[in-house]
Amino acid sequence: MRIYSKQDLNDYHQSLTYDDISLIPTEISRIKSRTEASTSCRFMGIEMGVPIVSSPMDTVTGIEMVEALNQFGCLGILNRFDSSLESILKGDGKTKKIKAVSVALNISIDEVTKLAERGYIICIDTANANNKEVLLKTEEIKKKFDVKIIIGNIAQGGSLEQLENAGADAVRVGIGSGSVCSTSIQTGIGIGQVSSLLDVLFEKEKHKLNISIIADGGIKSAGDIAKAIALGADAAMLGRMLSGTKETPGEVIKYSGQLWKKYRGSASFGVKMRNEYIEGEETMVAYKGTVKNVIDSISDGLRSSMSYMNCFTIDELKKTESFAVLSNSSYIERLPRM
Would you kindly state where each structural domain of the chain is located, as residue ranges?
Answer: 6-244+291-327
The pLDDT of 305-310, averaged and rounded, is 98
Helices (H), the chain: 6-10, 63-71, 84-90, 109-117, 132-144, 160-166, 183-187, 193-206, 222-230, 269-272, 291-308, 314-317, 328-333
Distance between start and end Cα atoms, the chain:
29
Nearest to 175 by CA among 254, 266, 301: 266
User: How many Cα neighbours within 13 Å face the side chain of 43?
Assistant: 30
Q: How high does pLDDT run on average in the chain?
A: 91
pLDDT by residue (tens digit) across 105-135?
Answer: 999 999 999 999 888 999 999 989 999 999 9
Cα dihedral 12/18/24/29 (nearest 10) = 140
Query: Which has the closest alpha carbon to 57: 184, 221, 244?
Result: 244
- Show the CA angle centred on residue 300, arms to residues 297 and 303, nearest 5°: 145
Lowest mean pLDDT among 84-98, 116-130, 252-266: 84-98
Distance CA 61, CA 80 (A): 10
**pLDDT at residue 16 greater than cutoff 60:** yes
The per-residue pLDDT for 95 is 63
Residue 218 pLDDT greater than 60, yes or no: yes
Write b or e for each residue in 163-176: b if 16 or more Cβ atoms lie within 10 A of its Cβ, otherwise e. bbebbbbbbbbbbb
Greatest mean pLDDT range, 94-98, 107-111, 261-265: 107-111
- Is the link from the previous residue into 153 a cis peptide, with omega within 30 of 0? yes
Helix %, strand %, coil % for the chain, to 5?
35, 20, 45
Mean pLDDT of 53-76: 95
Active-site residue, 311 included: no
pLDDT for res 120: 93
Backbone angles phi, psi at 81, to 5 degrees: -95, -5
Question: What span, in angstroms and rounded, lies between the C-alpha atoms of 224 and 305?
Answer: 10
CATH for 6-244+291-327 (3.40.50.2300, 2.60.40.10, 3.20.20.70, 3.30.1050.10)? 3.20.20.70
Candidates 323, 331, 330; CA nearest to 4 is 323
What CA–CA distance (Å, rounded) separates 101 from 182?
A: 24
Size of the chain, expressed as the number of residues it contains:
338
Least confident span in 6-10, 257-261, 322-326:
257-261
Catalytic residue among 74, 123, 181, 311: 181
**What is the C-alpha separation between 243 and 291, in angstroms, rounded?**
9
Sign, CA torsion 245/246/252/257 = positive
What percent of the chain is predicted at pLDDT more than 90? 79
Residue-level pLDDT at 317: 98
Checking if the pLDDT of 275 tops 80, the result is no
